[in-house]
Structure 1
């Protein structure tokens, strides 16, 4: 009787193993998202006056935007779309957002804290970052290849990209490919389709 029970248990374990192994393998398999490059090293100060670097985001899937709190044009749209990502992944400790101000002289930690509260940013891994202006503009344009600069002829006095960068748990910028097989590199932070795409791809990276 004991031998029959043992054989029965062994059979169940074997069947479970056959089912579970592919699931475990899938959990650690890379998704179809392309690696664009490594996030440049950075260290900035967040809305809580805490130093935040790329190392604080390791082990997390996060989205990067360059903005400024007094922007009268595209920033409010970008921030609202970041709120959609927060809502989708709220409470997930492996998700984060980095909102980097390109007008740091005005956007002090206190100003960014008030901005975050007014916006409704509640995710503990959503950092509004400030620092030296040249350092940040360099980070945007040379580190991420995303435009950011001062222009006194435009509303708000600054120009910048409306794109979001998606970063995986290892600190690599990742993206999907377009219909022709080319990496899109960044996601449109002003467009519903771009927000839907990055939502889907965050999910893929969280599963890696």
Structure 2
């Protein structure tokens, strides 16, 4: 064997030695920290990129995590929908009415934006409860949904007994709802959205003081940035938090 060949083997051996000294400890360290075996996301919504629990808090009442109460209403297709139909889904809820002349159109435009952001996610849904069920029949709600471009099969516009709906809003979610002849459209209601996880618990992020925001302001759009009172829009935050819960 020539000296030139010997030098080649010596060079290769040296490279292998250097590789081992530099990179093997790093590989061992990555294995120790579970970096090698976890799937690295190539997409913000990668199916394999699941985490056990996000940093979103559970809303607690008297020390217990608040869960969506049982409900049963009729949707825009005349089908009975209950809270069990949403089991295993992340979903957003609102209370509205189809003839609302003020905040409802803005709220639902924002929800359509969210719907389109999570298009194709079978474990994402929305629930819109009318507070004027005497007028908002399934047929009316179907036309309303079509008008807004609702395509998510898990977005149900729900109608039923008014007293039951108001109890769900005011006691179940603590989202104020009521009749008021002096209010525009004859009804008052919150412009907020509630975010529900796959197990039916109400979840939210915390504010800069460490307190849960509880609900997400639904009136101002991302483009508007602020509402009429100067409060910052929360649709972008809601989208980010839906993404977190979908990964739980």
**TM norm. shorter chain > 0.5:** yes
**Residues of 1 paired with 2:48 and 2:124: CA distance?**
22
Aligned pair 1:105/2:127, yes or no?
Answer: no
Larger Rg: 2
Secondary structure of the 2:37 match is helix
Give the structure 1 partner of residue 152 of structure 2. 123
Secondary structure of the 2:209 match is coil
Aligned pair 1:207/2:236, yes or no?
Answer: no
Aligned with residue 189 of structure 2, among 160, 169, 189? 160
Give the structure 2 partner of residue 33 of structure 1. 56
Higher relative contact order (CA 8 A, sep 6+): 1
Q: What is the Cα deviation at residue 29 of structure 1?
A: 1.3
**Residues of 2 paired with 1:170 and 1:95: CA distance?**
13
Give the structure 2 partner of residue 197 of structure 1. 237
Extract structure 1 runs of 4+ deviating beyond 6 A.
22-26
Deviations 1:14-49 (A, max 9, x none): x7x862258799724100000111111111110000
Q: What is the Cα deviation at residue 178 of structure 1?
A: 0.3
Q: What is the Cα deviation at residue 141 of structure 1?
A: 0.2
Deviations 1:71-121 (A, max 9, x none): 000000000000110110011101000010000010000000010001111
Structure with the larger helix share: 1
Going from structure 1 to structure 2, the CA distance change for 1:26 and 1:92 (only over 3 Å counts) comes to closer
Going from structure 1 to structure 2, the CA distance change for 1:155 and 1:200 (only over 3 Å counts) comes to same
The root-mean-square deviation of aligned C-alpha atoms, in Å, is 2.1
**Residues of 2 paired with 1:58 and 1:98: CA distance?**
13
Secondary structure of the 1:99 match is strand
**Residues of 1 paired with 2:82 and 2:205: CA distance?**
26
Q: Can you give the 5+ residue segments of structure 1 that lack an aligned partner in the other structure?
A: 1-14
Q: Can you give the 5+ residue segments of structure 2 that lack an aligned partner in the other structure?
A: 1-30, 41-46, 60-65, 223-232
Aligned with residue 37 of structure 2, among 20, 29, 32? 20
Q: 1:56-71 to 2 correspondence within 5 Å?
A: 56-71=85-100
**Residues of 2 paired with 1:61 and 1:125: CA distance?**
10
**Residues of 2 paired with 1:25 and 1:85: CA distance?**
22
Aligned with residue 179 of structure 1, among 180, 194, 208? 208
**Residues of 2 paired with 1:177 and 1:35: CA distance?**
10
Deviations 1:150-188 (A, max 9, x none): 000111000000000000000000000001100000000
Going from structure 1 to structure 2, the CA distance change for 1:77 and 1:182 (only over 3 Å counts) comes to same
Q: 1:85-100 to 2 correspondence within 5 Å?
A: 85-100=114-129
